[in-house]
A and B are shown apart, each in its own frame.
Chain A
Amino acid sequence: MHDLPNDPIDPYEARLARRVGAWTEQAVEPFDAAEIARATAVTARRFGVRGALLGRGRSPNLAWVLVAGVLIVAVGGAVIGGGAKGPVGPAATPTAAPPVVAVHSCTPNDVEAVITAWDGAAGSRIATVELHQTGTAPCTVDPLPQPWLADGRGSPLITGKAGAGTPITLAPREVLHTLVQVGNYCGPAPAAPVTVAFTQHGAAFVATALSPTDLSGVPPCNGPTAAAVIEMHPWSR
């Protein structure tokens, strides 16, 4: 509890400050500063200085989903590249064409998805999601990647379908927005936090959950015979 600052506004402040001090005493819990610092540092070093994995409640298992996404992209690219040893047909004549810098498909190294709100609708839940470009070079995002609802272990609870559309080029620091609607989950109680994720070209973007314990995205079971649903609006600026 703190003394009042030396810029008094009203004599009543002293009484209110005492009441607030007594009331907030219940929020003062023992903690291990070294452990908090260690966990924060480890997470920041492993996943980048933004520290989002610890900060917004992603479990380490979800982190592995990100790592797996990167590996899938990397291995997939190598296999595809290795299978095609060169152009088929007549040898191309070397020319002095200017170098073309290809814009690559975004990977979890380039973007960070964040749930900013969950809203309820009749029998369903709607997540408001932002996709932040955190890389240093432009990359492309499919307007309708495959959406899925993920539990705290990174396992899919409901899986949707990808859609077609012209990829969106996302510059560094740009932000895209979307809404994801989920409905009719009739499975066992999921591990927290529940979040949404998006897969494009083998890379999974797992959105940072609202909190480490958040389960507000679990939709009610409307009937086990009906299919679970997850749909998203196209990413938009």
Chain B
Amino acid sequence: MIDPDALRGVVASAATGDEIAFARIVAAHHHDMARVAFVVCGDVVLAQDAVQAAWPKVWAKLGTVRDPAKLRPWLVSVAANEAKQLARSRNRRWVREVAIDESTEASPGSASRSTADPGNRAAELDLANAIATLDPDDRILIGLRYAAGLTSDEIGRVIGMTGGGVRARLARLLNRLREELHDA
């Protein structure tokens, strides 16, 4: 994590094309972006594609980040939106390509690299299935909150809602997930 005092300088340097400064930002945030993208699209490979697609957009618009404290929420939201777009196209492809026998070709992003413990594996599948039923924008909310650890206000700023609106929507989502996951 970049020291908050140094962050302003790092962002300013990266915005002017300093590759080393940009690499520091990548190093500090790439994993968080991948986690959030994964919550949104549910596929490791797609999540990595989303983060890869996010970095050039970050490079192009880094100069618009005036407050370094807002960098992290913005970065993970860029990755979340890329994942949403990729997931949309991927879902359409699944619908179309029913002839492809996916049952014999393990997805490199899901079962093969998940936890080996059967109990944990079942819990992860339950969670993945529950999140997959959510609206894409709700998956973004879950990712920003529980994969990136953003506050309601931070989420509200990057998705264009009030903090109160975010809290109300998250409360409804929590109730729904609690029921679906039998976590009551």
Q: Measuring CB to CB, which residues of chain A are less than 8 angstroms from any residue of chain B?
A: 2-7, 9-10, 12-13, 15-17, 19-29, 31, 33-34, 36-38, 40-41, 43-45, 49-52, 54-57, 116-120, 125, 210-214, 216
Contact = CB atoms under 8 A, between A and B. Distances in A.
Contact of B60 (A3, A10, A51, A57): A51
B37 interface: yes
Interface of B: 17, 19-20, 22-24, 26-27, 30-32, 34-35, 37-39, 44-49, 52-57, 59-60, 85-86, 88-90, 92-93, 95-96, 109-110, 113-115, 120, 123-124, 127-128, 142, 145-154, 163, 167, 170-171, 174, 177-178, 181, 183
Contacts of A212: 49, 52-53
A50 B55 CA distance: 11
A147 to B, nearest CB: 20
A119 B127 contact: no
B82 to A, nearest CB: 9
Nearest to A50: B60
A213 B50 CA distance: 11
18 contacts: A7-B167, A16-B146, A19-B123, A22-B124, A23-B128, A27-B38, A27-B44, A31-B30, A34-B20, A40-B56, A45-B17, A51-B59, A55-B56, A116-B85, A120-B95, A120-B96, A211-B49, A212-B49
Given A7-B153, A21-B146, A41-B17, A210 B89 contact: yes
B86 to A, nearest CB: 5
A211 B45 CA distance: 11
Nearest to A18: B146
A27 B33 CA distance: 10
Contact of A12 (B24, B56, B149, B183): B183
Contact of A211 (B23, B55, B86, B170): B86
Contacts of B32: 2
Contact of B174 (A9, A19, A118): A9
A9 B171 contact: yes
Given A2-B148, A23-B124, A34 B96 contact: no
Contact of A41 (B47, B59, B96, B142): B59
Contacts of B110: 26
